[in-house]
Structure 1
Amino acid sequence: MIEIAITGTGIVSSLGTDTAEFCRRMLAGETSIKASPWAAKVEGRKSWQSVVEDFNPSDWMDRRIEEGTDLFAQFTLAATEQAVRQANLGTLDPLRTAVVNGTSIGGVRAVMKAQHALDTNGAKAVPRKTQIQIWPNMAAAQIAMRYGLHGPSLTMTTACASSLDAIGTAARIIERGEADIAITGGTEGGISLAGGGRDGDFVPVLFYTGNVYGMETPSPNPNQAMLPLDVKRSGIVVGEGAGMVVLERAEHARSRGADILGYLRGYGSLADGFHPSSPEPTGVWEARAMELALGDAGMAPGEIDALIAHATGTPKGDTAEINAINKVHAGRGLPVASIKGHIGHSGASSGAMAMISGLYGMAEDRFTYIANTDEPDPEADFEIVHGQPKQMKYDTLQINSFGFGGQNASIVLTRT
């Protein structure tokens, strides 16, 4: 059996552009939810967002690459560089290194900029490079081009489950013997003005549709805007960022003396087949994805020490996941948290960010918690970790990501 080691991580987030900074700030209780500059465009409600503010593309790429990429790909390149450095990979074997990236919306920011230019100043004002900026596969393609890779290069688009599906798919590629190393994770860059982009007065699509269709919280208080697994939960706060990891055939990692951060032991993915935006309310298919991941890992539910939930803070979504976790892990006080109270819902990158947070906490013997949640849902037959991190040694961790269209993914990690 081929073991999958994790040897590198990288983050671009609203809590910093470095894994250690991101995790330290999260464990210290910081949140990045702020009033949105787009709120005036959407009448009748106070609105919030969680954006990347301290990202400068020129720190990570030359001007030619910066001008030819949209923000989602720039985030990916920066997070990948961090992960590759931490993994201390040196020269990569171009035929034995895969890239699998996840994104929900790809270069939507480039599309919005182009449409704004067209509407404002006509066709000649549309940036010439829009055509190569918009494609969702361009983040993975840019990684392959930067490192001169010729292995499999894939892009997963399974809504908010995209990064866990990308990571699981990357593991399968290694298990099939098609690669020794995979650079994988997820990215989203649809709401930000990061990277010096002062792009006029267009409204980012994610922000606008979230408000119009009632996905976003109506809360007038930023500390109550995102309340995963809380009885007062009322909707999401849109976020963004990238999380990337290096997966490696464990024997390969050991042979080169790599520091191994943990192991990916199991992956499960399937569809609700129920509704475009609402989860199947009993959580039966989310539970099944969790069971598939456990089965792939060869583990029983009782062997899991902690779980990072998808938990977006929507009434229906959290109810379904509570039901799912109850089905799989009920009755033993399993500690469960979500990172979204700190950074909002970063879409396709959220699963990878949760994975990185979980690995960091595993090394620190501190399990993350849900910021701002103060009235845990009593329907949960497990411990909802809130208020502060939980000081605990955990050797096994399950992580969930669920997306629109009924996309359900779950992974299992271990320390050793």
Structure 2
Amino acid sequence: MRVAITGVGAITPLGLTALELADGLRGDRIGIRPAPWAPEGGALFAGVDERFDATGWFEERRLDGVDPFACFAVAACDEALVQAGRWDDGGAVLDDERTAVVAGTSMGGMYSLMLAQARLEQGGSDAVPPKTMLRVWSNMAAAQLCVRYGVHGPSLTVTTACASSIDAIGQAARMVASGAADTALAGGAEGGWPAGRPGIEDFRPVTSVAGRILGMESPAADPARAVLPFDVDRSGIVFGEGAVFVVLESEASVRNRGAEPLAWLRGYGSCADSYHPSSPDPSGRWEARAMELALAEAGADPSEVGAVVAHATGTPKGDAAELKALDLAFGREDLLVTSVKGHTGHTGASAGAVGVVTAVEALRTGVLSHTAGTTTVDPDAHVDVVVGEPRRADLGTVQVNAFGFGGQNASVVLSRA
């Protein structure tokens, strides 16, 4: 497989563009902050940059029908299209029947559903917004993108928890590679974790304590030390939100437009642990299998991969399993490995796509971002975990992992354009 990535867009805790995300990952900026619903302290949250204003993309009168996750998706995808050169003064420039949309989400409009429930309990049925269900359905990110750009190709929603955006990008790339579409807009969006947004007094959705319920929430109070991927002192997750989308195009589409790819997507692999709803198979066998499948589709030898953007959320069990998987798939101590979670928190379905932007930037610039927060790497890490500062490296191929609750394993292989 050889599919071009021609544009990337991002709304994340580190900023409102892919450039701000990349700059934040190369620096010391941390997108994890004290939670807005706990002003007294004791809780952390990785919300999107506070400058985000949905009225930049939707008229005020339409916002009552759009959940934050769909707003984030539209904003990110607009940016990706602009960078890809698929935008003019009239909006997106796309072949309406040859463009696919594949959006990943794990929570969908859960925020809106819980807000509506709170309003129902406090004010009765008349207090529930009439467009609540339009905000709740998980396919609404993809639907909003199709409506905005007027495209009529395949429109799919992928929900494989934290692996959703890698699965979305991988499936979209296969559509393009097979000829089912010439262009695809793919990525992930999450807005189901937030709390403290205007709407109802003292509203706090249960998703705001999801990490605590799962027994995976980081107990740290310092944002800079809250998430420690691959560190001996790692203690848990800080959940967040955001959206990242990419524009995928066939080689013929790129050639006909005279476009310059940012990178090539060469392979995608996915499989299931079939082990436990929240814990990974401790052997790492099936996470390794996803990486091996992606390499096989790419026609690449493991020795070609210079770096891996790991899933690595900072949980004791999750990171341990991924380290074993890296040993199984690569068996190399010189393999560079990084994780974005110390910078961004765990942005749910969009997390894997954040990793894709990280990989694209590393391939383009020769600089791989570091694993923020981590200082003492687990001795069971038989790879070169990048800590302290970004690492300069001549990278030709980078692999990106995303592993979701329920044993959803996904991986993609990207190469330098």
TM-score, length-scaled by structure 2: 0.96
Residue in structure 2 matched with residue 409 of structure 1 by the alignment: 410
2:248 match: secondary structure: strand
Tell me the CA shift for residue 202 of structure 1: 1.9
Q: Tell me, which stretches of 5 or more residues in structure 2 are unaligned?
A: 88-92
Residue in structure 2 matched with residue 311 of structure 1 by the alignment: 312
Q: Deviations over 1:342-397 (max 9, x none)?
A: 01000000000110122122212100111010011110110010110001121110
CA distance in structure 2 between the aligned counterparts of 1:349 and 1:213, rounded to whole angstroms:
20
1:238 match: secondary structure: coil
The code of the aligned residue for 2:328 comes to: K
1:111 is the counterpart of 2:113? yes
CA distance in structure 2 between the aligned counterparts of 1:371 and 1:129, rounded to whole angstroms:
41
CA distance in structure 1 between the aligned counterparts of 2:203 and 2:364, rounded to whole angstroms:
43
Q: Tell me, which stretches of 5 or more residues in structure 1 are unaligned?
A: none
2:156 match: secondary structure: strand
Tell me the CA shift for residue 198 of structure 1: 4.4
2:7 match: secondary structure: strand
Query: Following superposition of structure 1 onto structure 2, how do residues 168-247 of structure 1 map, counting pairs within 5 Å?
Result: 168-192=170-194, 197-247=198-248
CA distance in structure 2 between the aligned counterparts of 1:361 and 1:193, rounded to whole angstroms:
33
Residue in structure 2 matched with residue 157 of structure 1 by the alignment: 159
Query: Following superposition of structure 1 onto structure 2, how do residues 367-406 of structure 1 map, counting pairs within 5 Å?
Result: 367-406=368-407
CA distance in structure 2 between the aligned counterparts of 1:385 and 1:198, rounded to whole angstroms:
42
Tell me the CA shift for residue 66 of structure 1: 2.3
CA distance in structure 1 between the aligned counterparts of 2:398 and 2:144, rounded to whole angstroms:
31
Residue in structure 1 matched with residue 11 of structure 2 by the alignment: 12
1:86 is the counterpart of 2:83? yes
Residue in structure 2 matched with residue 273 of structure 1 by the alignment: 274
Tell me the CA shift for residue 23 of structure 1: 0.7
CA distance in structure 2 between the aligned counterparts of 1:16 and 1:130, rounded to whole angstroms:
28
Residue in structure 2 matched with residue 132 of structure 1 by the alignment: 134
CA distance in structure 1 between the aligned counterparts of 2:311 and 2:208, rounded to whole angstroms:
20
The code of the aligned residue for 2:160 comes to: T
The code of the aligned residue for 1:58 comes to: T
Tell me the CA shift for residue 70 of structure 1: 0.2
The code of the aligned residue for 1:346 comes to: T
Tell me the CA shift for residue 30 of structure 1: 0.8
Tell me the CA shift for residue 40 of structure 1: 7.4
The code of the aligned residue for 2:129 comes to: P
Tell me the CA shift for residue 34 of structure 1: 1.4
CA distance in structure 2 between the aligned counterparts of 1:361 and 1:370, rounded to whole angstroms:
14
Residue in structure 2 matched with residue 46 of structure 1 by the alignment: 42
CA distance in structure 2 between the aligned counterparts of 1:332 and 1:230, rounded to whole angstroms:
17
- 8 Å CA contact 2:309, 2:358 repeated in 1: no
CA distance in structure 2 between the aligned counterparts of 1:258 and 1:245, rounded to whole angstroms:
15
The code of the aligned residue for 1:48 comes to: L
Q: Deviations over 1:133-181 (max 9, x none)?
A: 1000000011001111110000000000000000000011112211000
CA distance in structure 2 between the aligned counterparts of 1:220 and 1:240, rounded to whole angstroms:
19
Tell me the CA shift for residue 193 of structure 1: 5.6
CA distance in structure 1 between the aligned counterparts of 2:235 and 2:195, rounded to whole angstroms:
26
* Cα 1:199–1:387 shift into 2, 3 Å: farther
RMSD: 1.5
2:114 match: secondary structure: helix
CA distance in structure 2 between the aligned counterparts of 1:200 and 1:77, rounded to whole angstroms:
28
Residue in structure 1 matched with residue 90 of structure 2 by the alignment: none
CA distance in structure 2 between the aligned counterparts of 1:221 and 1:25, rounded to whole angstroms:
18
CA distance in structure 2 between the aligned counterparts of 1:365 and 1:331, rounded to whole angstroms:
20
Q: Deviations over 1:5-61 (max 9, x none)?
A: 0000000011111111111122011101111133479xxx92211111221011122
The code of the aligned residue for 1:125 comes to: A
- 8 Å CA contact 1:72, 1:190 repeated in 2: yes
Number of residue pairs aligned between Structure 1 and Structure 2: 411
CA distance in structure 2 between the aligned counterparts of 1:170 and 1:357, rounded to whole angstroms:
19
CA distance in structure 1 between the aligned counterparts of 2:201 and 2:287, rounded to whole angstroms:
41
CA distance in structure 2 between the aligned counterparts of 1:67 and 1:207, rounded to whole angstroms:
22
Which deviates the most, 260-269 or 52-61?
52-61
1:146 is the counterpart of 2:135? no
- 8 Å CA contact 1:83, 1:245 repeated in 2: yes
Dislocated runs of 4+, deviation >6 Å = none
Identity %: 49
TM-score, length-scaled by structure 1: 0.96
- 8 Å CA contact 1:329, 1:382 repeated in 2: no
Which deviates the most, 118-127 or 151-160?
118-127
CA distance in structure 2 between the aligned counterparts of 1:51 and 1:220, rounded to whole angstroms:
16
CA distance in structure 1 between the aligned counterparts of 2:62 and 2:306, rounded to whole angstroms:
43
